[in-house]
Amino acid sequence: MRKVLIAIILMLGVFLVILSFSEIKTIVITLQHSDWRLWGLALIVELIWILNMAASFGILYRLMGMHDHLGHLFWMVSAANLVNVVAPSAGIGGMAVFIDEAKQRKQSTGRVTVVGILFVLYDYFAFLCILALGWVVLIRRNNLNTGEIISSFILLGLAMALSFLLYLGYRSPQRLGDTLAGMARFINRIVFPFIHKPYLSEDNSHQYACEISEGIQQIKGKRRQMILPFLFALNSKAILLIILMISFLTYQVPFTAGTLVAGLSIAYLFVIVSPTPAGLGFVEGGLTIALNTMRVPLGSAAVITLTYRAVTFWFPLLVGALAFRRLHLSRPPKTGKAAVSSDAADLPGGKENSRLKDENQES
């Protein structure tokens, strides 16, 4: 089943590339009229951005009493980014990669879920700090419109919803379990007409809630340690600002700090709240128009946007595909009796048949 899911993720990535072929072609043409040295610098900075996120996960893992080396976290973060792109979920879908790896390593999935929620929350709140500065710039330049306001409140609502789940887990595992069971029931009603069976187990919700609550208890009394991940989240946004600045320098277009902050605010906002993969189409159009309203020539705004998106969207997508493949190949293959038992267990009634077979062999 895991191989099928990996194939589906990679296939969706291929479809995304095919559907966006015209944009890729435009990016290639843009590359021919830019400074390759600055392009290379932007790609290196983007790798530092991924490494910064991996380091942030490492800190959160240690807060939960778990450990993982930075190299492995780098590949997991890259693979999670791919999942977030092909299955838009406001940054939450990528948790599946970490939960799957936790199961393989026999780690607590509840603690890993708390790590994922904390990471997304830190990312949201760090961006809200940048967004507040962006609002100031847009208001001063009289460029703030309804779209940015609505998107900002959607982002705030997502952050509050995740915070509420953590609060429930902290106060009462029973109430968190009831909430998760209700969410599972709602999702099952939606997908039942398509798959004709429950997609999520409501019975496991309370057990999973207890695991999450156990993970939340790990961060009690660690207020100082919880500041560091937030600083890494702010650092992540600073790195994206640097990439946007390099995009301006590549075409020798003058800019101000306010233009960079406002531009990043609009771009990242649409990445999170837009219904398309990582804001595909929305970011390109919205950022180009926003830069143009901030006195950047329309042609320059378009190539700057394409450069920024090539570095922060298409390049991580390639790294994510490689990461997915690497994580899959790094797992030791099952051999002999274990492989046969595992395959049999995946079939209807397979677990029972496998158990009876083992009992017969022993007798």
What are 271-298's pLDDT values in tens digits? 877 777 777 777 888 888 888 888 888 8
Assess whether pLDDT exceeds 70 at residue 130: yes
- Residue in this structure with the two tokens 């991996």, named with its chain if needed: 54
Look at residue 254 and tell me if it is in a domain: yes
Q: Are 52 and 240 in contact, with CB atoms under 8 Å apart?
A: no
Look at residue 58 and tell me if it is in a domain: yes
Look at residue 220 and tell me if it is in a domain: no
Reported as a single tens digit per residue, the pLDDT across 23-45 is 556 666 666 666 778 888 999 99
Q: For residue 46, what pLDDT band results from cuts at 50, 70 and 90? A: very high
Q: What is the pLDDT of residue 43?
A: 93
Look at residue 353 and tell me if it is in a domain: no
Q: Report the pLDDT averaged over residues 145-165.
A: 76
Helix axes 109-140, 36-63, angle to 10 degrees: 130
Q: Are 230 and 119 in contact, with CB atoms under 8 Å apart?
A: no
- Which of 172-181, 188-197, 236-245, 298-307 shows the lowest mean pLDDT across its residues? 188-197
The whole domain housing 247 covers: 2-19+35-144+230-331
- Which of 60-64, 219-223, 261-265, 338-342 shows the lowest mean pLDDT across its residues? 338-342
Q: Cα–chain-centroid distance for residue 359?
A: 45
Q: Give the burial string for 138-159 (b: 16+ CB within 10 Å, else e).
A: beeeebbeeebeebbeebeebb
Residue of 124 and 178 predicted with greater confidence: 124
Number of domains in the chain: 1
Dihedral sign, CA of 110, 116, 117, 118? positive
- Which of 159-168, 196-205, 320-329 shows the lowest mean pLDDT across its residues? 196-205
Q: What is the pLDDT of residue 347?
A: 40
Reported as a single tens digit per residue, the pLDDT across 49-108 is 999 999 999 999 888 888 888 888 999 999 888 887 776 555 566 777 888 888 887 777
Q: What share of the chain is helix, strand, coil (3-state, %, to 5)?
A: 80, 0, 20
Assess whether pLDDT exceeds 50 at residue 361: no
Q: What is the pLDDT of residue 16?
A: 52
Q: Phi first, then psi: give them for residue 69, nearest 5 degrees.
A: -80, 155
Dihedral sign, CA of 334, 199, 79, 53? negative
Q: For residue 1, what pLDDT band results from cuts at 50, 70 and 90? A: very low
- Which of 2-16, 46-60, 228-242 shows the lowest mean pLDDT across its residues? 2-16
Q: What is the pLDDT of residue 363?
A: 41
Q: For residue 223, what pLDDT band results from cuts at 50, 70 and 90? A: confident
Residue of 229 and 113 predicted with greater confidence: 229
DSSP three-state, residue 53: helix
Look at residue 133 and tell me if it is in a domain: yes
DSSP calls for 206-266:
HHHHHHHHHHHHTTTT-TTTTHHHHHHHHHHHHHHHHHHHHHHHHTT----HHHHHHHHHH
Mean pLDDT taken over the chain: 75
Look at residue 54 and tell me if it is in a domain: yes
Of the segments 61-65, 138-142, 143-147, which one has the largest average pLDDT value?
A: 61-65
Q: For residue 349, what pLDDT band results from cuts at 50, 70 and 90? A: very low
Look at residue 27 and tell me if it is in a domain: no
Q: What is the pLDDT of residue 202?
A: 66
Q: Report the pLDDT averaged over residues 19-26.
A: 56
Q: What is the pLDDT of residue 260?
A: 92
Q: What is the pLDDT of residue 240?
A: 94
Q: Report the pLDDT averaged over residues 208-235.
A: 79
What is the share, in percent, of the chain residues with pLDDT greater than 90?
Answer: 12
Residue 195 buriedness (CB in 10 A; 0-12 / 13-18 / 19+): exposed
Q: What is the pLDDT of residue 93?
A: 65
